[in-house]
Amino acid sequence: MKVPHFDQDTTAALVRNLVIPPRPALLDQLAALRNDPEMSLLDVAGLIATDIGLSAAILKAANSPLFSSQRNITSVQQAVSLLGTRNTITLVSGLLLRLALTAESPPAIEQLWERSMQEAAIAAALCERLGRPTEECQSFALFRSCGIAVMLMRDTRYERTLRLIGQARDRQISKIEQEFHNTSHDIVGYLVARTWNMPEPFCQAILLQHQPELFQVGSEPLLDHEHMMMVAVARAAQYVWRTSTDHHGDGAWRERADDIVSYLGMDSTEFEDWVDSMHHQLHH
């Protein structure tokens, strides 16, 4: 498969200029727990409790209105019980990414991580609506914008670019980034995911998520069905978040809406009803 704007020379030059931290050891411990048939809530809670930053972030997630808790969650064990062990492991993986990439975060990065956490929760809700497992789509929603964080840390000019691509069509995002920075956040995110030993199809999904032909009927498939679904769910979650929080809305959604909603197996009325219900949850 030919990847747009991506070749070995570009990769080598970019890797030399980027500082990508190694995969955290705690991520390997979490992966081992996920694969352990005897994994318990206490095992997961105990591992999280060893890191103060992770503990605080998981408590914040558990008290989010998206999880509809009627009580104040005050301990990691309560949070894991509410979120579920596998869901918690997925969220913690994203939080580890955040902590590893941006130890000292300017406001733009804090806003990015906050958005990613909310979009991951929305993605999980959509998976439940579709009767699909939540972990992979939720993990993709957390990781898919990691290249933005690296770009923000690497180049102070990127914050201006980020405002531009926030109003651009999906197909224009990489072109704008290439013009100003000679790379794109999808390429950088792909490199981060590969450095962290994420599965190659997952890395490819990050790289190709904004390609205009990805969901076009009749186009040669760029990804397998599972990873196409991950991209579709994450983009739908982004639409919910943008239309809920940004007075500009999500103008870029229109050109991909029909193809993505169709790929999700929903009709437009069903999808908009779900969007309305998510908006209600986000604001109550």
81 belongs to a structural domain: no
* pLDDT-above-90 percentage for the chain: 31
Q: How many CA atoms lie within 13 A of 180 on its CB side?
A: 19
Regarding pTM above 0.75, the answer is: yes
195 belongs to a structural domain: yes
Range of the domain at 190: 8-21+106-282
Mean pLDDT within 52-62: 82
Whole-angstrom distance, CA of residue 248 vs CA of residue 129: 27
118 belongs to a structural domain: yes
185-235, pLDDT tens digit by residue?
999 999 888 888 888 999 999 999 999 889 887 778 889 999 999 999 999
CATH number assigned to the domain comprising residue 130: 1.10.3210.10
69 belongs to a structural domain: no
Task: Please choose, from the candidates 148, 50, 168, the residue with its C-alpha nearest in 3D space to the C-alpha of residue 101.
Answer: 148
What is the model's pLDDT at position 236?
97
Angle formed by the axes of helices 76-83 and 41-48, nearest 10°: 130
Q: How many domains does the chain have?
A: 1
Task: Please choose, from the candidates 202, 179, 181, the residue with its C-alpha nearest in 3D space to the C-alpha of residue 192.
Answer: 202
149 belongs to a structural domain: yes
115-133, pLDDT tens digit by residue?
888 899 899 999 999 999 8
216 belongs to a structural domain: yes
150 belongs to a structural domain: yes
Residue 85 has pLDDT above 70, yes or no: yes
31 belongs to a structural domain: no
CA angle 142, 238, 147 (to 5 degrees): 45
